[in-house]
Structure 1
Amino acid sequence: MPAFPKMLAVLALLLAPVGARAEEVVDLGGFFGGGKALLNKPAGKARAGVILLTGGDGNIGIGADGTVQRSGNWIVRTRGDYARSGIASLVLDGGADPNKAIAMMREIAPRVIVVAMSRGALKVASTLPSRPDGIVFASAMLEEARPALGDAAALPPMLIIQHRKDSCRVSLPEGAEAFKAWAGPRARLVWVDGGSSTGNPCQARAYHGFVGREGAVVSAITGFAGSLR
């Protein structure tokens, strides 16, 4: 191996989260003829796996070498943190097929949870035929996603994570409360406070993006994953 690529490979290993293997680029195929994802696995056997769906158009620009063009979203920045809790993760680029991601993760972990941020919630209904073991909605477009989800009683357990000060018009706190009332016992609502907010209220640096509270969001997701049986 030439010196420079070898140095990059060593650096990637050094920067990998404690308790995790080196990140792997996988090709899942997808809606636009191809879609990459980044796989992070714990050093030991995974106790669960999470499929991470970003907001916006979903396109984060994963390169063949594992580089990410758009990494500002918390769901992308924290993708390796789950490994510390024994949880594998797959963060998907916009063209990647979530159902193929679920199938791949079932080969790695006994339970698979779909985690959808903001507009990513609109993809959740399409994953239901793959029978995810749980669903997490974070700052999600719940009113828009709900009609396609069907009967709440037929859905897997759900976790709603909502910042109390989210002022994005498509993910307001009252929307989370309304969704919880609709879902009844199938869903649990976790509120997040604090952090910071700048710029567009619907973008990654606002309360919508849990800036400064990423650890609390990851902890809520790992706790939810651990509660599933």
Structure 2
Amino acid sequence: MRMFWKTTALLAGLFLVSVTGAGAEEVVDLGGGLFGGGRALLDRPAGKARAALVLLTGGDGYIGIGVDGSVQRGGNWIVRTRGAYARSGIASITLDANADPARAVAYMRAIAPRVIVVAMSRGALKVAGTLSERPDGVVFASSMLNDARSMIGDPARLPPTLIIHHRQDSCRLTLPESAEEFRQWAGGRARLVWIEGGSSTGNPCQARAHHGFIGREGQVVAAITGFAGSLR
């Protein structure tokens, strides 16, 4: 546990926000069942990946990935920082709205020995559907945890879990007390990282508010990277 926090602090100090990884992004088709095909953006490290992340954005999940890898909606912190993990030897795949999260977990198993689902805000409602694929870890960031808890049902279904939440998150669907309640419900399966400071403007449930970790992206990425490295 002590090593996890030391690693997290070090990475936070070194982190620079970037959407460029070690190599060119690859557009992957992860079909969305009744809703048709769904694109995703795959970022790989230069060498063999030591872990892989399945990145689920909030809201309606739509970021508008084009066939050329372009992104229409890039404001979400998950989208803005998606390439940063490659510098730590971690692959990531960022899903558009109709991409299948469970299929993404299975896809990333061929790329790395451990797969972690990272869910932002409303993206947490998709986590229960990935558990049949047995991800090695789950990260909830600014998540709708009360609803996610209801959908998961039994905390025994959870793999090791990290909760990242801003102490000043004022979105009515993701208030800070829900993070502590979820941690207690999950028991020893979950740890909680609090984020403080940064800036906040506009709608409290949108990307430019504390809900979106503005100015604290490095701490969030470092916490996720450290968590991925702690899994065995």
TM, length-normalised to structure 1: 0.91
Q: Look up the match of 1:125.
A: 128
RMSD: 0.9
1:167 aligns with 2:167: no
Match of 1:7 in 2: none
Q: What's the counterpart of residue 11 of structure 1?
A: none
- Tell me if structure 1 keeps the 8 A contact 2:61–2:123: yes
Equivalent residue for 1:6? Answer: none
Aligned length: 213
Aligned to 2:227: 224
Structure having greater relative contact order (Cα 8 Å, sep ≥ 6): 2
Q: Which residue of 2 aligns with 1:92?
A: 95
| Unpaired segments ≥5 residues, structure 1 | 1-14
Counterpart amino acid of 1:193? E
CA distance in 1, matches of 2:191, 2:147: 19
| TM-score normalized with structure 2 length | 0.90
* Partners of 2:59 and 2:121 within 8 A in 1: yes
C-alpha separation in 1, matches of 2:173 and 2:226 = 26
Of residues 71-80 and 26-35 in structure 1, the stretch that sits farther from structure 2 once superposed is 26-35
Aligned equivalent of 1:28? 30
Corresponding residue for 1:64? 67
SS state at 1:46 partner: coil
Aligned match of 1:183: 186
1:155 aligns with 2:152: no
> Which residue of structure 2 aligns with residue 198 of structure 1?
201
Unaligned runs of 5+ in 2: 1-18
Mark the structure with the bigger radius of gyration.
1
User: Which residue is 1:8 aligned to?
Assistant: none
Q: Give the AA of the match of 1:100.
A: R
Moved over 2 A (4+): none
Q: Give the C-alpha shift of residue 126 in structure 1.
A: 0.4
Aligned AA (1:73): N
Residue of structure 2 in register with 1:103 after alignment: 106
After alignment, is 22-31 or 207-216 more displaced?
Answer: 22-31
Question: C-alpha distance in 1, partners of 2:138/2:106?
Answer: 15
> Counterparts of 2:59 and 2:171 in 1: how far apart (Å)?
13
